[in-house]
Structure 1
Amino acid sequence: MDLINFSHNAITTEEELRDIIQAPHELVVKKSISIIDEHCEKFIAKSPLFLLSTCNAEGKCDVSPRGDFPSSIKILNKHQLVIPDRPGNRRLDSIQNIMSNPHIGLIFLIPGLNEVLRINGRATVIKDKQLLGNMSLNGKPPLLGIGVDVEECFIHCPRALNESKVWDTSTWINKTELPSSKDIFHDHLKINGIELKN
């Protein structure tokens, strides 16, 4: 299939966009707050999974899933939180993005709950041993953390998770319908000219 030139039918101005999609209701705009209030704090404390969105200085974006035990994120005050950076594959995509562009977005999920909490702000990669020492997992403190200065918080409506039925086990596929992550990993390495022996 030939590549499509998306620019031929692109929307390029906000005026053109609003001709198609009307402005949001005032209540939708006003639900956004600039502090971590008690509701946001409780939501974060119950969330074992969140998505971390970052972008480097060149505009290349990345979204990273982060799983940890509930209450692993430390709320410092109404404007700041710290995320422990646990050991992983050492690609450090999110960390390097933050170092070149501090703007981040977070989506917190709680299993069984269709609403999500969205937080936007500015991030800093930190190595404060005293602060990170209080965020140990299995006796090991993280080497790095992500300090977030919160600029915006709001609860996102449940439509996306309702429609996807993500928590409804009756809709879950049989794992045999997809190749294993190992097979996908090996096939992607082959595309890059690397073949591993089984």
Structure 2
Amino acid sequence: MDVIDFSRNAITTEEELRDIIGAPHDLVMKKTISIIDDHCKKFIEMSPLFFLSTSNADGTCDVSPRGDMPSSITILNKHQLVIPDRPGNRRLDSIKNILSNPHVGLVFLIPGLEDVLRINGRATIINDEKILANMSLKGKPPLLGIGVEVEECFIHCPRALKESNIWNKDTWKNKEELPTLMEIFHAHLKINGVEVKK
């Protein structure tokens, strides 16, 4: 297929968007709070998986899945939380982005629940030994922490997860029909001119 020029029919103003989509209901706008209340705290404590969205100073974006034990995130108070940054592949995509642009978005999931919790705020990479020591896993504290100053916090309707049937095992694809992680990894290395001997 030929490359499409998206600019031909691009929407470029909010006015154009509103002409097509309309305005949100007043209650949808007013559900956003600027604190971690008891309900949000419980949601975060029960979530073993969340997605961290970042972008660098140039606007290049990244979304990183983060899995850990429930209650792995430390909630310091109604305005601040700390995410443990445990050892990984050392790409540091999220961390490097935060260094140049502190704005982050978080989406928290709980297995079997179709609602999600969204948090937006400003992040700082921290190396506070006292805080990190309290976030140890198997006796090892995280190397760093991501401190987040919460600016927006709100529950998101279940439509996306409901329509996707994400928790319905009957809709899950047969893994044997999919390429393995290593097959994809080697194929992508090959695109970049790297051959891996088997």
TM-score by length of 2: 0.99
Q: Does 1:126 align with 2:126?
A: yes
Letter of the 2:176 partner, please give it. T
Query: Deviation at 1:193?
Result: 0.4
Query: Deviation at 1:130?
Result: 1.1
Query: Deviation at 1:119?
Result: 0.2
SS in 1 for 2:45: helix
SS in 2 for 1:97: helix
2:135 aligns with 135
Q: Does 1:194 align with 2:194?
A: yes
Q: Distance in 2 between matches of 1:168 and 1:53?
A: 26
Identity %: 76
Equivalent runs, 1:153-172 vs 2, <5 Å: 153-172=153-172
Q: Does 1:2 align with 2:7?
A: no
Query: Deviation at 1:143?
Result: 1.0
SS in 1 for 2:134: helix
Q: Does 1:175 align with 2:175?
A: yes
2:150 aligns with 150
Q: Does 1:14 align with 2:5?
A: no
Q: Distance in 2 between matches of 1:33 and 1:131?
A: 26
Query: Deviation at 1:42?
Result: 0.1
Deviations 1:91-141 (A, max 9, x none): 000000000000000000000000000000000000111110110011000
Query: Deviation at 1:156?
Result: 0.1
TM-score by length of 1: 0.99
Letter of the 1:12 partner, please give it. T
Q: Does 1:109 align with 2:109?
A: yes
Letter of the 1:194 partner, please give it. V
Q: Distance in 1 between matches of 2:33 and 2:180?
A: 42
Letter of the 1:131 partner, please give it. I
Q: Distance in 2 between matches of 1:130 and 1:36?
A: 22
1:89 aligns with 89
Q: Distance in 2 between matches of 1:89 and 1:63?
A: 15
Q: Does 1:27 align with 2:27?
A: yes
Q: Does 1:77 align with 2:45?
A: no
Q: Distance in 1 between matches of 2:39 and 2:177?
A: 40
Q: Distance in 1 between matches of 2:142 and 2:86?
A: 6
Deviations 1:152-198 (A, max 9, x none): 00000000000000000000011011110000000000000001111
Query: Deviation at 1:2?
Result: 1.2
Letter of the 2:67 partner, please give it. G
Q: Distance in 2 between matches of 1:162 and 1:37?
A: 25
How many residue pairs match? The answer is: 198
Q: Distance in 1 between matches of 2:114 and 2:86?
A: 26
Equivalent runs, 1:43-82 vs 2, <5 Å: 43-82=43-82
Q: Distance in 2 between matches of 1:21 and 1:163?
A: 20
Letter of the 1:155 partner, please give it. I
